[in-house]
Amino acid sequence: MPVNVLMPQMGESITEGTVVRWFKNEGEEIAKDEPLLEISTDKVDAEVPAPASGTLAKILHGPGTTVAVETVIGVIAQSGEAADSGQALETEPVTAPAPPPVVAPRPAPVATPVARVEASQPAAQAPLGEPFGEHAEVLRRRSSPLVRRIAAEHKVDLAVVPGTGIHGRVTKDDILSYVQAGKAAPRAAAPRLAPVPAPSHGTPPISGATLGPSGAFTGEELREPMSVMRQKIAEHMVASRRTSPHVHTVFEADMSRVVALREGGRNVFEAKHGLKLTYTPFFLAAVMEGLKQFPIVNASLDGNEIVYHRHVNIGVAVALPHGLIVPVVKHAEELSLIGLQRAVTDLATRARNKQLKPEDVQGSTFSVTNPGPYGGLYGLAIINQPNVAILSTGGIQRRPVVVTDELGRESIGIRDMVYLALSFDHRLVDGATADQFMAVVKVVLEAGEFDLD
């Protein structure tokens, strides 16, 4: 019998989801647990695995359609059944999407940067260089149509690309990283984007080329609907500005001891723990010391009541090609530096592979964002509701500063400096409290007394 594909329930509070794209077209074969489509909710974006093996007989709701959970969105015909034998009770979508904009035919791959290839417009037939036969079916299970198109354009054998997705699946980030690393030769000389400087800490930067228009201009402008994630980000940011009177304070910290500690111990740390050591856990550890002394900064408001939280749940902003998400390190006060690094690495990896669960992005009591890897000195961030504060960490830069020794003598020295900007809700946190909290963070970072074992 045919098997219905349902819009999954991604959390108790989630009642609907939006179909972002299907990885398979009608008539194509699918293996059980192979990624079938991508959905977006007001909490997370996620890939939905196929509930059974067979042929995708029907797609009842296409990209851009928002439907209630448990709604039938597709039908998989079992082995031996005709592709048109799938029967399902089709339900009406909760919200019908606006008609897609008319876009001129896409230019040839030679003239299109790889980052602008869209999965929502799969090729009608396999492009030149795409694998075929049994080998193709194996690779198809490890990649989406978008990944295969990028691989074909750059003449990449997907079998040699390390996959970080589910079951070793090659993701878009995997193939782009492989191409940008110079391991694959493009078909023809394409315009090169200016390289982004390596990050000094935090998560790797993502090329802004992925945020350009998906189609070609036919006139003076090109209109495209905002993604569900982009719409939710806009709603949350506007709501936060309406809710909290934002005030900002900026501190400068000498990171020289932390830099020396990390540079001297990261190889041993990676060999011992199997993790790359970034600067993010140092910032989180310093933040926790400040929150212990000033729990009001870890609190929230519920009407006229102040809600103090027993635990420190730190939201860490992760930049994605299509937006921003803030997964949460739960009970951070119970974690060592190693535990913090492991938690941040896990959340960031699952965020990029669309494997986060709704509970992974809920319950934060304080947030940290990091524009530093992109070259920013600091950013005045918008508070992540219902938090009352968010810390923005800038890039660590070596520059001359006035140094005072133990005898009070001043001299000019070269130090690794960073700007730290705190945005806080003035309804609950006063300027004096915010500055005292930041002073603690600064002292902890400048002392550099962290345990890497």
Which residues have a catalytic role annotated? 426, 430
Looking at beta carbons, which pairs linking 25-31 to residues 24 or more positions away fall under 8 Å? 25/56, 25/59, 25/122, 26/56, 26/57, 26/58, 26/59, 26/83, 27/55, 27/56, 27/57, 27/83, 28/55, 28/56, 29/53, 29/54, 29/55, 29/56, 29/137, 30/54, 30/55, 30/56, 30/76, 31/141
Instruction: Extract the tokens encoding 90.
Output: 């089709």
Instruction: Extract the tokens encoding 174.
Output: 């995997």
405-415 burial, b if ≥16 CB within 10 A, otherwise e?
Answer: eeeeeeeeeeb
Q: What is the DSSP letter of 325?
A: E
In whole angstroms, what is the distance from residue 129 CA to residue 152 CA?
5
* DSSP code string of 180-222: HTT-S--SS--PPPPPPPPPSSSSPP--GGGGS-SSB-SSS--
In whole angstroms, what is the distance from residue 351 CA to residue 360 CA?
9
Q: What is the DSSP letter of 170?
A: B
Residue whose C-alpha is closest to residue 348's, from 380, 378, 366, 370: 370
The backbone torsions φ and ψ at residue 41, rounded to the nearest 5 degrees and listed phi first, read: -125, 180
Asked whether 434 and 250 are in contact (CB, 8 A), the reply is no
Q: Count of alpha carbons within 13 Å of 112, Cβ hemisphere only?
A: 21
In whole angstroms, what is the distance from residue 82 CA to residue 75 CA?
12
The backbone torsions φ and ψ at residue 315, rounded to the nearest 5 degrees and listed phi first, read: -80, 130
Asked whether 349 and 37 are in contact (CB, 8 A), the reply is no
Q: Helix 145-153 and helix 172-180: axis angle, to 10°?
A: 20
Q: DSSP strand E in 222-267: where? A: 246-254
CA angle 436, 363, 374 (to 5 degrees): 65
In whole angstroms, what is the distance from residue 196 CA to residue 262 CA?
22
